[in-house]
Each structure stands twice: as C-alpha cells, then as structure tokens.
Amino acid sequence: MIEVVAALIRDGDRALLCKRPEGKNQGGRWEFPGGKIEPGESGEAALFREIVEELGAELEVGAALCDVVQEYPGRTVHLMLYDCRVARGTPRKLEHSDMRWVPLEEISQYDLCPADRKLVERLAQP
C-alpha cells in the first residue's frame, strides 16, 4: 500500500485544487495537492516537502481531517487529508497543468481523482 498525504489548503471559504498533468496517472483530473510519504518521514513533514516542491509555498500543516483507501489498477493508495493554510509564499503551478481556488461547496463539481472524490464525500458527512 502506498502512503500518500494531501492538503486541504483553505483561503476563507475556498480551497486549492490542482489539475494533474496529462500523461501522468489520473492525468487531467483534479486533486488536493500532496504526494507520497518517504521512508522515515511523518505525514506532516511529507506534506510540507511536497507542497514546496509542487507549489513553491510553505504550509502550516494542521490536523488530519480524514483518510481513505483507494484501489487503482496495479496499486492501492492510503490517502490522508490534512487541514492546511499557506504560511509563506504564493502557490504556483510548478508540476500541475492548472490550479484554482474553488469555493468549498463547488469542489464536488470538479472531475476529481477517485481518492479525492472519496475525501470530499467524507468531509460532507456530519
């Protein structure tokens, strides 16, 4: 199982979504930014590192919100979503084909990666 972390980066009532580049797994779909946890790395440290690499910004990583397990062809992913805010810098698309600040109530309207869609459904539950 691949351990992955993602950031729910909030700005008021909006959250940052990023579009995976074509040619990558789930290319063209939207996701919460993040990435794989390296051996010996905590989820929080991995998320901080991944956001610097992908968006060129530093995060204040808050509480873990929820997690899901998603089966993809040839792999299983365990994805943990953290509540985050930008601490330093301005996010920019260094690895994604697009990025948008999306009102929280509109996120489910995007073509999300399956694991991210599960996270959104989990967040909507009371």
Assign domain 2-124 to a CATH class: alpha beta
Q: pLDDT for 29-48, tens place per residue?
A: 999 999 999 999 999 999 99
Query: Quick one: pLDDT at residue 125?
Result: 80
Q: pLDDT for 54-89, tens place per residue?
A: 999 999 999 999 999 999 888 999 999 999 999 999
| Contacting residues for 76 by C-beta, under 8 A, at least 6 apart | 1, 2, 69, 70
Domain assignments of the chain as residue spans, ordered by start: 2-124
* Structure tokens that stand for 84 in this block: 């985050």
Query: Quick one: pLDDT at residue 37?
Result: 97
Residue 115: burial class (beta carbons within 10 Å; 0-12, 13-18, 19+)? buried
- Separation CA 50–CA 30 (nearest Å): 16
Of the chain, the percentage scoring pLDDT greater than 90 comes to 88
Query: Quick one: pLDDT at residue 28?
Result: 85
Phi then psi for residue 95, to 5 deg, are -125, -15
